[in-house]
Structure 1
């Protein structure tokens, strides 16, 4: 537009993006073809977060249901978007096709969301998926070196989050290497632990320092809060909370809350704060 200052142009662009962030995903998919700046803007964390907040404010929630059909070897994972509108009784609005379903993804775990993006993991495989735009990216295989004498390797306890300083999405996961030794008493196993970190910006995995404690299973709820991912963990002195800062790429630990029972509680994001949900276990005698 002639005669419009740079400041005025920036304000106009910000206003346009503010309006676009209030539109449904179907409209945004069409508008990506208007121009390259719009298409690029729709993929920025700032726009994704703003669009997600507007959808939450308007109760346009993406409630997903994960299903599995078949046996553990040849089964197929499926995701369905459920309606949250009043009177719809969570009926299926649409089904999502995962391009890697039925191709060895037998024990799929879902982590997130982070800015509307989910991380899917199954043993040594992982992918990033945006259910709203249907975009996905299968992450490359790790090039981190394993101990030369390791007999087997297992991937576990993944964490997914966003680095606001470098505008980067990161995936951290723990790796357990097993060693089998023969002895007079029979075979026994020893293990060696590693931690590796994936950066979407570099599209590479790298090894980072092992924190000295192991997460106690994968979180049931989303436990990524304001740039930090949290797990329950086991230390030499008992239960604790292990955290990983996506910006500094450093681990730290927090004391275990004395009022909680580890076996009946889960960590979660509670309105931007780290929270814990507790449920009372009960044994029924017959």
Structure 2
């Protein structure tokens, strides 16, 4: 039957299928294999996945264990994912420094081992160390943060590394296409100190959290297309109330910020103590912060400390929330009611955990470039100059 259909129609049908059967269908014929593994088809398939809002998964990190689950409003069932950092000795902790197009940037606790990993097709790439002038001495407090994103201008996945110590700092960018690092100038004021919070990629812009000398939080944004920095202010936070935690996520194509507040109050006349808790959810839309909603303590449970958004439901009427890195629940934005979700597969996992979302994709991170040893006296290849691209402005809306 397949021989009776034109290849264009077969390709269209294949783009609507999940990733796992596509891997099996590569064995049908050489034509199917070359079609499914082509970069054009991989992009079409991922674009179709975003349109249909399918193949969405939860990635959960607990110490050096990674688990995955399909998103569901009824029950979450997590399975252990065999990841490349499992083979590294003495690696008690791993971290996710970014997820783009189904590819995860994994970093060990010492930040010496960095790798790209697609948990769907199990492809892996070990990233070479970035050249750095940071001191090895313990006399300096060194802040080091990684970010991971995609540059559509060069069709390249990039890792950005920011390092700060004393009054010095350096920025390096890794290109997956070239499998190499390069240094980038940072002209933002030195009065902003880098906070070791994972960067978030939104619309090909990496957002790092920094803080000014007057303790004001600011976003330091790196445009992957132009390799330039810009600064964006935070929304106006409630003053006089203790901020327990802030977390960032890329949801609905926008940057989302969750600010959890908690403050103890005491009635000296009645000798009664207590506390109140609430969390504000903000979204960056067209370069402006918009407060989406507020969640109060009595809508969750009394002893919660902080919240993190995980994902929205398909009808956009509910949001999945991670509470204290211990359990999950769906919060209905219309009824303001919270429903805890049963979870399986976390019995042997140490708490707390961190939850992320990713989309199953065919993107391969395997390094197919052949490494040719240099001969003495040869001139290194010149770097190909990329097309100039001028950003028309900072925009975080897809």
Name the TM-score class by shorter chain: 0.7 to 0.9
Q: Post-superposition shift, 1:97? A: 0.8
Q: Post-superposition shift, 1:191? A: 5.8
What residue in structure 2 maps to residue 19 of structure 1?
Answer: 13
Bigger mean CA offset, 233-242 vs 195-204: 233-242
1:242 aligned onto 2:220:
yes
Q: CA RMSD in A?
A: 3.0
1:135 aligned onto 2:123:
yes
> What's the CA shift string for 1:133-186, capped at 9, x where partnerless?
1111111122x2526x65369562211100001110000011245xxxxxxxxx
8 A contact 1:155–1:173 mirrored in 2: no
Normalising by structure 1, report the TM-score. 0.74
Counterpart of 2:185 (choices 178, 203, 209) is 209
- Taking the TM superposition and a 5 Å limit, the aligned residue runs for 1:115-264 are 115-122=101-108, 123-142=111-130, 144-146=131-133, 151=137, 156-176=144-164, 190=166, 192-210=168-186, 211=188, 212=190, 213-219=192-198, 223-236=200-213, 238-259=216-237, 264=245
Task: Mark the CA change 1:235 to 1:110 in structure 2 (over 3 Å): closer, same or farther.
Answer: same
What residue in structure 1 maps to residue 92 of structure 2?
Answer: 106
Task: Mark the CA change 1:52 to 1:282 in structure 2 (over 3 Å): closer, same or farther.
Answer: farther
What residue in structure 2 maps to residue 91 of structure 1?
Answer: 77
- Distance in 1, matches of 2:167 and 2:65, equals 34
- Distance in 2, matches of 1:138 and 1:79, equals 18
Q: Post-superposition shift, 1:78? A: 2.2
Task: Mark the CA change 1:14 to 1:175 in structure 2 (over 3 Å): closer, same or farther.
Answer: farther
Task: Mark the CA change 1:155 to 1:118 in structure 2 (over 3 Å): closer, same or farther.
Answer: farther
- Distance in 1, matches of 2:56 and 2:80, equals 15
- Distance in 2, matches of 1:67 and 1:43, equals 35
Bigger mean CA offset, 160-169 vs 255-264: 255-264
Q: Post-superposition shift, 1:244? A: 0.7
> What's the CA shift string for 1:45-86, capped at 9, x where partnerless?
6235325426x634x421122233xxxxxxxx2222224345
Which consecutive residues of structure 2, in runs of 5 or more, have no partner in the other structure? 266-272, 275-398
More RCO (CA 8 Å, sep 6+): 2
1:273 aligned onto 2:254:
yes
Which consecutive residues of structure 1, in runs of 5 or more, have no partner in the other structure? 1-8, 69-76, 178-189
Normalising by structure 2, report the TM-score. 0.55
8 A contact 1:31–1:38 mirrored in 2: no
- Distance in 1, matches of 2:21 and 2:236, equals 49
Q: How many residues align?
A: 248
8 A contact 1:49–1:116 mirrored in 2: no
- Distance in 2, matches of 1:38 and 1:260, equals 54
- Distance in 1, matches of 2:226 and 2:247, equals 25
Task: Mark the CA change 1:119 to 1:224 in structure 2 (over 3 Å): closer, same or farther.
Answer: same
